[in-house]
Amino acid sequence: MKKWFHSLRFRVMAVLLAVGLLPMLLQSRFIGRTSMERHIRSRVQEYQYQCSALATQMSRAGYFSNTDSQAALDRQIELLAGIYSGRIFIADQTCRIVKDTFALDEGLYSVSPAVLGTFRGTSTLTYHNDEHYALFTLPIYAQGSRDVITGVLFASMSTETVIAFEQSLANRQGLFLLSLLFAMAALSILMSRFLLSPVDRLKTEIAGAAEGNRTEIGVYTSTETAEMSESFNRTLARLQQIDASRQEFVSNVSHELKTPITSIRVLADSLISVPDAPVEMYREFLSDISEEIDRESMIIEDLLTLVRLDKSGQELTVEEKNMNELLETLLRRLKPLAKRRGIEMTLECARTVTAEIDEVKMTLALSNLVENAIKYNVDGGFVRVTLNADHKFCYVSVQDSGVGIPEEDQPHVFERFYRVDKARSRSAGGTGLGLAITDDIVRMHQGAIRLASVPGEGSTFTVRFPLHYIA
């Protein structure tokens, strides 16, 4: 499709032009034609009426026998034929033409069906549209009689003058329509420009925003553009927010990746700076370096997991899974970690629950919660995992008797690299990405996480997600 056809300006212009001109065109096309026909008919009728009056006069005066009145009536016949640009001839009872206004056929006999028919009592009227003339006949009755026909008035009339008149009218109308077309075209250009001026301004302002010259747009001259401006500003604000958080994420990533490397460098430099350092010192420092390398790998691994989650978007390998079994396996795997600190782990299942989940991802999400419950716990504490469901949702809660999370930190713990106690997280081997990963996975399952925590007493993370996956 042509580009101009998609232009809103062109469409508005075309609609305005059509609305303005269509009625006029239809009017001239249909009403113009019927008006010409009506005009011809009324002119012929008028002529016919005059001729009929003349025929009555002829009948009264006894035209065919009274030669005195004949001359006066002949003049009237001539006059009438002249006025209507027609021809009249009068035939007597023997069909002989006694008067012809063209003086061509006088003395001749006219035995045309029209004349003969009129003698029998049927007057005729015929239109010859192609040759532009009309014909009619009228009876001339005998003096004082209403039945005896003594002659026939035969009249023809050219319709050329009417047609010429109507044609000139149509020409003038055509000229008027043409000038109207130009005027309407100019008007529709102006109107479309006026109507679309807010859209044009919107376009310019959006282009300015795209080039980075403005951070907000505002075209409030129409309700539609005002709504568009507001939606655009909201989108722009979101993009700016995303950009800011991306920048913050990149700077956090750089910082996090640099920390272990700095430690490794300090450890290596210390070793180098000590000549003849004992083997024990080497062993100790190298084991510290190895720990830092582990940390670096963990951060990279978590980052890759996050990137993969972002990249795969909504792609989940969803299967129906028994949640009781999934949690049992998960706790069995983490039991040694809890045992090391004397933490008691329990699983309470209110019922058997099967849910449509991505097993690998959901296991990772729930493992992070249980690992945190162990990591941020006190020695000899407890971790209580409960599983429940209603007709719609599955609920998994992980409760611990650990250090808890202060209220002001609670809204931030799901942010990437956010840590309440940096030193504690570091010593516990945390990367600050675990809860961000969990949050991403739960959201992908159309679920949500709730956190309740009292510092010094413990925390409870509750995950809720639909039993049937909603794509």
Rank residues 166 and 256 by Cβ distance to ligand ADP and give the closer one. 256
Minimal CA–CA distance to 21: which of 183, 172, 168?
Answer: 183
Q: Take residue 164 and report the two structure tokens written for it.
A: 């010429």
Give the DSSP H/E element, type plus range, for residue 91: strand 86-92
Instruction: With beta carbons less than 8 A apart as the criterion, state whether 187 and 19 touch.
Output: no
Instruction: With beta carbons less than 8 A apart as the criterion, state whether 319 and 355 touch.
Output: no
Rank residues 140 and 383 by Cβ distance to ligand ADP and give the closer one. 383
Taking the C-alpha atoms of residue 440 and residue 162, their distance in angstroms, rounded to an integer, is 87
Rank residues 192 and 372 by Cβ distance to ligand ADP and give the closer one. 372
Taking the C-alpha atoms of residue 282 and residue 287, their distance in angstroms, rounded to an integer, is 8
Q: How far is the CB of 438 from ligand ADP (least distance, A)?
A: 7
Does 381 participate in binding ligand ADP (rule CB under 6 A)? no
Rank residues 233 and 460 by Cβ distance to ligand ADP and give the closer one. 460
Query: Interaction with ligand ADP in 384-423: which residues (CB under 6 A)?
Result: 400, 402-405, 413, 418-421
Phi/psi of residue 163, each to 5°? -60, -45
Rank residues 89 and 417 by Cβ distance to ligand ADP and give the closer one. 417
Task: Select from 2-10, 53-61, 162-170, 427-435 the region that touches ligand ADP (CB under 6 A).
Answer: 427-435
**Four-residue CA torsion sign, 352, 354, 360, 361:** negative
Does 376 participate in binding ligand ADP (rule CB under 6 A)? yes
Q: How far is the CB of 427 from ligand ADP (least distance, A)?
A: 10
Q: Cα(first)–Cα(last) distance of the chain, in Å? A: 36
Taking the C-alpha atoms of residue 202 and residue 219, their distance in angstroms, rounded to an integer, is 6
Residues 6+ apart with CB under 8 A from 65: 143
List 137, 156, 305, 459, residue binding ligand ADP (CB under 6 A) = 459
Does 434 participate in binding ligand ADP (rule CB under 6 A)? yes
Rank residues 400 and 440 by Cβ distance to ligand ADP and give the closer one. 400
Which amino acid, 243?
D
Rank residues 225 and 397 by Cβ distance to ligand ADP and give the closer one. 397
Binding mask 19-58 vs ligand ADP (x if CB under 6 A, - otherwise)?
----------------------------------------
Taking the C-alpha atoms of residue 153 and residue 80, their distance in angstroms, rounded to an integer, is 13
Q: What is the CA radius of gyration of the chain?
A: 53
Task: Select from 185-193, 344-352, 365-373, 462-470 the region that touches ligand ADP (CB under 6 A).
Answer: 365-373
Does 430 participate in binding ligand ADP (rule CB under 6 A)? yes
Number of chain residues interacting with ligand ADP (CB under 6 A): 23
Q: How far is the CB of 381 from ligand ADP (least distance, A)?
A: 11
Taking the C-alpha atoms of residue 298 and residue 425, their distance in angstroms, rounded to an integer, is 13
Which residue in this structure is represented by tokens 């927010």?
241
Rank residues 106 and 415 by Cβ distance to ligand ADP and give the closer one. 415
Strand spans (E) along 228-314: none
Q: How far is the CB of 242 from ligand ADP (least distance, A)?
A: 21
List 58, 264, 327, 373, residue binding ligand ADP (CB under 6 A) = 373
Q: Take residue 429 and report the two structure tokens written for it.
A: 């081997």
- Which chain residues interact with ligand ADP by CB under 6 A? 368, 372-373, 376, 400, 402-405, 413, 418-421, 425, 430-436, 459
